[in-house]
Structure 1
Amino acid sequence: MQPLEAGEPRTIGAYRLLGRLGAGGMGRVYLGRSAGGRTVAVKIVHPHFAADEEFRARFRREVEAARRVGGEWTAPVLDADPEAPVPWVATGYVAGPSLDRALAAHGPLPEASVRAIGAGLARALVAVHGLGLVHRDVKPSNVMLTLDGPRLIDFGIARATDGTASLTSTGVSVGSPGYMSPEQILGKGVTGAADVFSLGAVLAFAATGLPPFTGDNSATLLYKVVHEPPELDALPPGELRELIGACLAKAPTDRPTPEALASALAPALGAPGWLPAPLVEQASRAAVALLDLEAAPAQEVPSGPVPFTTPSYPGAQGFGPPDPSYATGGGPYGTPPTGGAGTAGGGSGSGSGPGAGAVPQPRTAPDSGRQVSVTAAGRRFSCTLVLAAAAVLAVLSGGLYGMELLPGQRDKERDLADGGSSSTPAPAATPPTATPSASGAGGTRTDVPKELIGTWKGTVTTARMGVSSEFEITIKAGKVGEVVGRDKSILPVFGTDCSGDWKLASATDRSLVLDTSGGPNPAPGICSNGSANEGFTLNANGTLHYKSGDVPAGNPEGDLTRSP
């Protein structure tokens, strides 16, 4: 995300602008926030289009069509003003990288991820086509990867297929070379089958890092799409390759329907871990970054004329530039991303996570009593990931303020997540052997006391941020140095299992110190590495007090109750 420049608006309609996400031939896209705290992507058209009555008619029609979509797998249109001096439209903001940026940073996706993306996008097309609409621009930069599934964005050039005359100028085609269907290129009747062709091209790109049609220029690409077979040799033989090949059939009638694709790929969509760990972390950090942003100082600028620089290419004239995926490269998974959490591509209807160059600053710290509850076993997860889950839940519920999680101390929390580099690190948990419970210390011993054996559950809260999560651990009999416990650490929104083994380090008659630092980390960067100082002390009322020395996990602490 880029800072707002002099002359750019600070407010559009009811939204305060936080920064600029991108620009394209049609206009610029800004990150905005409503008075109620909802984060949106606001697209403002270039002023020279505003004077074109034909464009205004098309824009008005497209907004009305897009309002009807708003499905589970798309970014909904929330607000618009086609009659403003400079028309604009606001859509739901999608926190996460676009598909093209994800592959540029990490390389091709595994088959399970490709199948899940195909299933989600197929369902989006079912909803779009069911309303008599055609998207017409399904491409990697219009596919966003979020923690709970893919999202199809930018319905800015969708056309109704109810027989109404097209408002596009003669000889002008809309779409992206290499992802457009043959009939779209030839100017023939475009139906929902055109979107299926584009979906096949997107899936081929996701699986291999290369589009199915390549060329040095748009003319070559368009010729290959119409006359040559797709290049699918990099795809391993199997069902996925066959599905992609069927989508890329030259004749629209030979392509599968979105319903058939959704059915064939459905099992992959709800599978845990559908997104590789580096992208989970990237998407989660994008969600957390939303909480850091504060709008620039308020300036009452109406949604009127806005001085823009001249666009680099004429938006509605010709095919537009090739999609960025044509020049995509990238390394294997595990390589750190080269950029921020996916700033928006030019002109997209909904942006992705803000990058590192944003000018907005954090808010002041919230009241210490405010908390967010997340259903997760919080010890094993990096505190940043738990915060991300809270952010995602808040966004899905309609606003970041709805759960009373205000932007504030994220810089401190990131210090914790990076290993406690804050200037005032959280104190480590005091071992129960050094400070026994008021209920009675008892003598030291080398095994687990029977009073502590069993499954314990309860809510734990991080020391710094007051982020609450559900924690569960099962403790069994054993001696010092043996594995005597295992936590249940599965956060559904990430699809990652961070459960691990806990060894007995020391014990008294009413307390334990367990060590989780020696075992393998199932998902580095998502799960914490554990701690050698996980303290459990039996309270007088029969509950078990847990105090963690795990700094990256936020030093969670709380009372646990024995589960029957």
Structure 2
Amino acid sequence: MAELAGLAEGDPRQVGRYRVLARLGVGGMGRVFLARSPGGRPVAVKVVRPELAEDAEFRRRFAREVAAARRVNSFFTAGVLDADPEGAPPWLATAYVAGMSLNEAVAAHGPWPEPSVRALGAALAEALEAIHATGLVHRDLKPSNVLLAQDGPRVIDFGISLAVGSTALTLTGAVVGTPGFIAPEQLRDGDASPASDVFSLGAVLGYAAGGTGPFGEGPAQEVNFRAAFEPPRLDEVPPGLRELAGRCLEKDPGRRPSVAELLAELASDTGAGPLTQREWLPAPVSRAVRERTETPLPSTPPAPSPT
């Protein structure tokens, strides 16, 4: 999770029954805050952007997707705890993960060793299996949507991108998703399926192992073109992972492995015991996650951020 920032003017101090304590960040759907439940439980509250809240189609889809997301049951997802799709504005509360995101970890500490990437892949495949079991497709699996904790990663924001992508604000040719992690079929016609999430998983694993995305960086159109038409760049990925990531990144969704196949393949690498009982993170990332986890959360809102 992003580092805490003070509340700015205009930020809510209360959302539903949750007391807002700090700002965690801003995403495609809106602002994200650290808050506490009446019983003292920390949660991440996502408050929908005003322009989305005014879109009737968004509200309908948001309500449906949140209902489905609440049925997802996996240790490796940050579960939806509460929501009010009819609120003014709409919001949802998810479990708070006091670690750091995968993109933050790689940017600060570099590529991961192969055993850590394989442990990450097994956990993410298990999360996708649970998400798909409810009929949802994540659609935007990317490093910033993977939060790291000592006992394993957590996938966030599953199901929400469909609601955001359905609005009049995004029906003018814009693609919902992150360049370099969007499957070719999503870029071509907006179709997404479990196979699309497998493509994104392959890109995430390539990023963790190589330090950059398999389709490079640059303007969104250029990165999307490479993802749709050019082979992935996996030279920096260890040979033991290169073939696995390459199969996930096939342009034809029918040629990609299923989540079940990936899970069976990667699960054999977790024979050393569950993540809760071993050090699966690279050492510098583990230290950074532990420091953040052990930092006390505020009991009152920090001083306001400069505006």
Q: Using structure 1 for the length normalisation, give the TM-score.
A: 0.50
- Asked whether 1:295 is paired with 2:296, we answer no
Match among 50, 53, 58 for residue 55 of structure 1: 58
8 Å CA contact retained: 1:143, 1:152? yes
Show the counterpart of 1:89: 92
Distance 2:5 2:72 in 1: 29
Deviations 1:8-61 (A, max 9, x none): 211111111110000133210000011111110000011222222122122212
Amino acid at match of 2:237: L
In structure 2, list runs of 5 or more residues that go unmatched. none
Amino acid at match of 1:12: V
Distance 2:174 2:60 in 1: 17
Distance 1:34 1:134 in 2: 29
Query: What is the CA distance between 1:188 and its match in structure 2?
Result: 5.1
Amino acid at match of 1:288: E
Show the counterpart of 2:118: 115
Residue 144 of structure 1 aligns to a residue whose secondary structure is strand
8 Å CA contact retained: 1:69, 1:76? yes
Match among 213, 216, 230 for residue 215 of structure 2: 213
Residue 160 of structure 2 aligns to a residue whose secondary structure is coil
Distance 1:54 1:107 in 2: 41
Deviations 1:242-298 (A, max 9, x none): 110100001101101111111111144436221122222222222222x342123xx
Residue 75 of structure 1 aligns to a residue whose secondary structure is coil
What aligned pairs does 1:388-427 form with structure 2 within 5 A after superposition?
A: none
Amino acid at match of 1:202: V
Show the counterpart of 1:189: 191
Show the counterpart of 2:41: 38
- Asked whether 1:246 is paired with 2:252, we answer no
Show the counterpart of 1:235: 237
Distance 1:155 1:277 in 2: 29
8 Å CA contact retained: 2:21, 2:298? yes
What aligned pairs does 1:135-534 form with structure 2 within 5 A after superposition?
A: 135-159=138-162, 169=171, 171-187=173-189, 189-238=191-240, 240-269=241-270, 270=274, 272-289=278-295, 291-296=296-301, 359=303
Deviations 1:296-341 (A, max 9, x none): 3xxxxxxxxxxxxxxxxxxxxxxxxxxxxxxxxxxxxxxxxxxxxx
Distance 1:6 1:171 in 2: 33
Instruction: Note closer, same or farther for the CA distance 1:154–1:214 as it changes in structure 2 (3 Å cut).
Output: same
Distance 2:172 2:57 in 1: 13
In our comparison, the structure showing a higher alpha carbon Rg is 1
Query: How big is the alpha-carbon RMSD for the aligned residues of Structure 1 and Structure 2?
Result: 1.9
Match among 130, 135, 157 for residue 132 of structure 1: 135
Residue 158 of structure 2 aligns to a residue whose secondary structure is coil
Instruction: Note closer, same or farther for the CA distance 1:6–1:173 as it changes in structure 2 (3 Å cut).
Output: closer
Greater RCO structure (CA 8 Å; 6+ sep): 2
In structure 1, list runs of 5 or more residues that go unmatched. 161-165, 297-357, 361-564
Relative to its length, the structure with more helix (as a share) is: 2
Show the counterpart of 2:102: 99
Relative to its length, the structure with more strand (as a share) is: 1
Deviations 1:158-194 (A, max 9, x none): 549xxxxx66736343211110000010015321000
Instruction: Note closer, same or farther for the CA distance 1:285–1:176 as it changes in structure 2 (3 Å cut).
Output: same
8 Å CA contact retained: 1:205, 1:211? yes
Residue 300 of structure 2 aligns to a residue whose secondary structure is coil
Residue 175 of structure 1 aligns to a residue whose secondary structure is coil
Amino acid at match of 1:76: G
Percent identity (aligned): 54
User: What is the total number of aligned residue pairs between the two structures?
Assistant: 292
Match among 15, 21, 24 for residue 21 of structure 1: 24
8 Å CA contact retained: 1:29, 1:44? yes
